[in-house]
Amino acid sequence: MRHAIISDIHSNLEALQAVLGEIARLRADTVYCLGDIVGYNANPNECVAIIRSEGIRSVLGNHDSRAAGLEDADDFNPYAADAIRWTREQLVQENADYLRDLPRELVVNDLMLFHGSVHDTDRYILYRKDILDNFRLLQEVPGAPRIGLFGHTHIKMAVALAQGTPFLVENGPLPLHKDQQYLINPGSVGQPRDGDPRAAFCVYDDSEQMVTFHRIEYDVLACQAKIIRAGLPIRLAERLAMGR
Ligand code: ZN
């Protein structure tokens, strides 16, 4: 089975459509989403509707949680908080209800899906200490899932844990070994932050035991035009072109 992993769509319809088109072309069997379906960009209802109609299993992201009214956005930067206020006004009831009901984590066979960190939607995995903490937490989860899938940073990351030592895997496809654990972030569909504006996702092939990382171009200008037309902060449109 080939599992496509997407994350941090952030109401970017053009990027989501481009990614799902490429996933179909790659003949993935299932698609999982690591949260933040909404926030920042201008098509929250359309993106939630696609995730629902495609039957894509998703976990709750920190922006989903604020947009659905589960938490307030006081700790967000002003641009992100503006977008949350706008998104709350836009979301139709059934889409808000859908977001509110998303689980914070999902375990599917050897995979564990979460948005930020294991048991913490808002916490980032950035540094060595975060990586070690999360490998430990993963081992404490019933069944000790071998592969932790996360988003939230909007930056691709792949780390293997072999004999207690984490190794950052920089580029190329990642062959998996049975006796190692992994933390993998596919990067962001709708707001990449690694300097490459193309939408990011990854594919886990469980029979080949291989993870491949993908980037796909989408219509950034169309997405930017909608952000400006919606009256969302211009900064949110500008950053898409820079991939920051
Ligand atoms: Zn995000």
Which residues have their alpha-adjacent CB atom under 5 A from ion ligand 1? 8, 36
- For ligand 1, the distance from its centroid to the CA atom of residue 153, given in whole angstroms, is 7
User: How many angstroms is it from 26 CA to the middle of ligand 1?
Assistant: 25
One-letter identity of residue 101: D
Q: For residue 86, count CB atoms less than 10 angstroms from its CB and return exposed for 0-12, middle for 13-18, buried for 19 or more.
A: buried
* Residue 134, pLDDT above cutoff 80: yes
SS3 211: strand
pTM (2 d.p.)? 0.97
Whether 170 shows a pLDDT value over 90: the answer reads: no
Residue with the bigger pLDDT between 220 and 162: it is: 220
- Read off the DSSP letter of residue 69: T
Measured between alpha carbons, how far is 122 from 65 in angstroms, rounded to an integer? 10
Task: Give distance in angstroms: CA of 79 to centre of ligand 1.
Answer: 13
Strands (E), 88-191: 105-108, 111-114, 147-149, 157-162, 165-168, 174-175, 181-185
Q: Rounded CA gap, 174 and 68, in Å?
A: 36
Please report the domains of the chain, with CATH numbers, ordered by start residue: 2-242 (3.60.21.10)
Separation of CA 63 and ligand 1 centre (Å) = 7
Do 12 and 43 meet the contact criterion of CB atoms below 8 Å apart?
yes
Instruction: Report residue 85's pLDDT band, with 50, 70 and 90 as the boundaries.
Output: very high
Q: Which pLDDT does position 32 carry in this prediction?
A: 98
pLDDT at 171 over 80: no
* Contact criterion met (CB below 8 Å) for 104 and 152: no
Mean pLDDT (the chain) is 97
As to burial, measured by CB atoms within 10 angstroms (0-12 exposed, 13-18 middle, 19+ buried), residue 213 is buried
Find all residues with CB under 8 Å of 171, minimum gap 6, and list them: none
Q: What is the pLDDT of residues 39-73, one digit of tens each?
A: 999 999 999 999 999 999 999 999 999 999 999 99
Distance CA 23, CA 126 (A): 27
Q: Which of 121, 130, 124, 65 is nearest to 91 (CA)?
A: 65
CA–centroid distance, residue 213 to ligand 1 (Å): 18
Query: What span, in angstroms and rounded, lies between the C-alpha atoms of 37 and 62?
Result: 10
